[in-house]
Amino acid sequence: MKFNWHGMGAIYRFEMARTRRTLLQSIVSPVISTTLYFVVFGAAMGSHMGGIDGVSYGAYIVPGLIMLSLLTQSISNASFGIYFPKFTGTIYEILSAPVSYLEILGGYVGAAASKSVLLGLIILATARLFVDFDVAHPVWMVAFLILTSVTFSLFGFIIGIWADGFEKLQLVPLLIVTPLTFLGGSFYSIHILPPLWQKISLFNPVVYLISGFRWAFYGVSDVSVEISMGMTLLFLTACLAGVWWIFRTGYRLKA
């Protein structure tokens, strides 16, 4: 069967158009929220704190703050994107259209990931206004940015299928993802924790994402970059398996 690029593109363009209609919520709001973190923790508190691993505190938290916005927005964009057609009933029109599950997935997840990558780059540019930093490995930085956006957009897609109410769309991001991100080394290195808590932190998957992303900036990390990339790819594979199971069984897609 020939791949329906037009069908996937239509879904992608519709989702990107929704971002333009909700620009304040999709882009401006998370940028402002992250800017406040830069002002409080980077510019204000960072000037009175020592560096970590040879990096000033204000610069050290830049990758963590970008990752914080990236994870939450990837999940939010993808989960709402697929949940709204379920809520309005138009999901059945999409499922009956001449587009495959892969094309549906590519349209929704591709748009959500594109929004997140764009947001991450805007926050990166905004951070330059408050702190000085360098990107030691720009190719790896872009690779982690794209992989993380795609992975958590897939995760958000799964949440959007699972949710049967708008409140459940925020349940996992607010109660699980955001706390894990704050406890995953966004504002500190896990090496400063007591040995027991260092070991406990290694069970937090977000630690590997932030650590790998920070390595791309400064060449320092809490865990090796190979392990960080491996864990990212493992989570990506798990999300792809979850989506495959959903489409195979029709879980919460078919009446």
> What was the pLDDT predicted at 117?
94
Beta bridge partners, 55, equal: 52
Contact predicate 189/55, CB 8 Å: no
Distance CA 11, CA 81 (A): 10
| Cα distances (angstroms) measured from residue 194 to each of 35, 90, 187, 199, 200 | 31, 52, 16, 9, 10
**Nearest Cα residue to 81 out of 5, 151, 15, 176:** 15
**pLDDT for residue 21 is more than 70:** yes
**Nearest Cα residue to 229 out of 143, 162, 167, 133:** 143
Mean pLDDT computed over 128-137: 87
Q: Where is average pLDDT lowest: 15-24, 141-150, 195-204, 222-231?
A: 15-24
> What was the pLDDT predicted at 46?
59
The three-class DSSP label of residue 95 is: helix
**pLDDT for residue 16 is more than 60:** yes
What are the pLDDT digits (tens) for 56-70? Answer: 888 898 999 999 899
Neighbouring residues of 126: CB distance < 8 A, sequence distance ≥ 6: 31, 34, 35, 38
Contact predicate 108/11, CB 8 Å: yes
> What was the pLDDT predicted at 38?
78
**pLDDT for residue 234 is more than 90:** yes
Q: How many CB atoms are closer than 10 A to CB 80?
A: 21
Q: Which tokens is 161 given?
A: 């299928």
For the chain, the average pLDDT equals 89
Distance CA 148, CA 142 (A): 10
**Nearest Cα residue to 136 out of 214, 70, 231, 190:** 214
> What was the pLDDT predicted at 236?
94
